[in-house]
Amino acid sequence: MCMDIVVKKLPQSRAEIHITLTWDEWKQEIDHAAEHMAKDVKIPGFRPGKVPRDVLEKRYGKETLLMEAAEHAVSHAYVRALEQEKINAIGQPEVKLETVKEGEPLIYAITTAVMPEVKLAEWKRAVKEANAAHAKKMAVLAVEPKEIEDELNRLATMRAKFVTVARKAQLEDSVEVDFEVKQDGVVIEGGKSEKHPLVLGKGVFIPGFEEGIVGMQEGEEKTMTLAFPKDYHATHLAGKPAEFAVKLRLVQERQIPAIDDEFAKSLGSFETLEAFKKTLAEGILEEKKNKGKEEGRTAILDVLVSKATIEFPEILVAEEINRMTQEFQSQVEMMGIPFEQYLEHTKKSLEDLRKDWDEQAKKRLSAGIILEKLADEDEIEIDSKEVEEAMNQTLQYYKRIKDAEKNIDLERLYASTRGRLRNEKVFEMLEKL
């Protein structure tokens, strides 16, 4: 395709691409457009695909034919121009047709956002300093006796059993209650339950309810007047009093196993508690090292971002905020909270969240762009076999989740896996500075 291309850089990481297509090339596009139109139209007296050009123009108008040809020409030439000029375009381009006539070149301009350039100033010294500070911190990593003790207590608490007891209910007891909640003598919606399980002190019910059960015995009944919190999710109940009629059916106390050799044996192939403590300490230390490694890399990224000058196109930031919004919404809904309810509770709109995330989005983008720049400069490449091996590990995980594998975009997975492995090699390079 014979064409003249002039690229003009614009503010905010945009580019204006002026393209001039010669009449010979432009004429071919018009002829192709006419052929396509002839295939798609049905005109009495003519076989499909055999409608003469002059009949098409008379039926639809020459302008329609030219615009159809221009659309195809712009699409083809734009892709070629991006490749030729090595332009990394993003988002939907804007097209302005300047000359669309027979016998003359096709002239048009395309404005598009492009991946921003990044300038890094005196970053190596700063990264070296960050590495030195991190190494000093990692050198004194240790596991304190209290950390082992706390983990043992946590594991013992997880293996606790609830045993029925004939005494007054206490905090941390597990109880079963019948309850009925009334306002003005009428049971409220969802305000009645039988044999309802409850651990006292967890704060699951409104303030005062669990505290009111403490001191009750099995079979005892009680009526309490309590007020719903002012920020209660059901707005028609918020801040209003109600009567809570409660009957205690069952009291169970939590019995935590003794932390001894028998407890250690129950956790695996450990003969003694001391043997388990040793393994536990090794695990805690390894976890600290992994956490420290992530902290070190975060420190490196913070340094690089602080040394970078990047002019972001609005569309790139908007797309990143969209991703962050989707991620956050999924996290909220995984906790069983409708996203709209979350927004109502926090008294924030979706637009408020997007504004709050603007700087964070730019920081995330900066980190990704910087790592890609350093990978290019260091000519870091990942062998396709290595990417495929890592992909297979990911796919093995998804095979355990019903129907999850069917929804995987393999091309996207390949790209993300390659990017992750490439970033890993960049970090390894940076950590050696």
pLDDT, tens digit (0-9, with 9 covering 90-100), for 18-46: 999 999 888 888 888 777 776 666 666 56
pLDDT at 180: 95
pLDDT at 49 over 60: no
pLDDT at 80: 86
Closest CA to 277 of 153, 176, 192, 378: 153
Phi and psi of 38, rounded to 5°? -65, -35
pLDDT at 274: 96
pLDDT at 81: 87
Number of alpha carbons in the 13 Å side-chain half-sphere of residue 373: 17
Phi and psi of 309, rounded to 5°? -120, 115
pLDDT at 343: 86
Please state the separation of Cα 97 from the chain's center in Å.
39
pLDDT at 119 over 80: yes
Lowest-pLDDT range, 153-157, 256-260, 397-401, 414-418?
397-401
pLDDT band for position 404 (50/70/90)? Answer: low
Lowest-pLDDT range, 73-87, 93-107, 136-150, 397-411?
397-411
The residues with which 240 forms a beta bridge, in sequence order, are none
pLDDT at 56 over 60: yes
Q: Beta-carbon neighbour count of residue 40 at 10 Å?
A: 10
What percentage of the chain exceeds 90 in pLDDT?
A: 56
CA distance 180 to 223: 9
Instruction: Show Cβ contacts of residue 154 under 8 Å, excluding neighbours closer than 6 positions.
Output: none
In the DSSP assignment, the letter for residue 356 is H
- C-beta of residue 169 within 8 angstroms of C-beta of residue 189: no
CA distance 211 to 215: 9
pLDDT at 51 over 70: no
Tell me the CATH architecture of domain 161-255: Roll (3.10)
pLDDT digits (tens, 9 = 90+) for 196-248: 999 999 988 999 999 999 999 999 999 999 999 988 878 888 899 999 999 99
- For 150, the 3-state DSSP assignment is helix
- For 190, the 3-state DSSP assignment is strand
Where do the domains of the chain lie? 3-115, 161-255, 311-431
Average pLDDT over every residue of 100-106: 91
Greater confidence, 116 or 400?
116
- Most confident range, picked from 189-193, 285-289, 323-327: 285-289
pLDDT at 109 over 90: yes
pLDDT at 55: 66
CATH for the stretch 3-115: 3.30.70.1050
Angle, in degrees to the nearest 10, between helices 314-334 and 358-377: 110
| pTM of the complete model beyond 0.75 | no
Average pLDDT over every residue of 400-420: 78
pLDDT at 57: 67
Lowest-pLDDT range, 17-21, 46-50, 145-149?
46-50
Closest CA to 311 of 111, 93, 113: 113
pLDDT at 77: 84
Average pLDDT over all residues of the chain:
89
Handedness of CA 368, 373, 374, 378 (dihedral sign): positive
pLDDT band for position 50 (50/70/90)? Answer: low
pLDDT at 332: 87
The residues with which 20 forms a beta bridge, in sequence order, are 4, 107
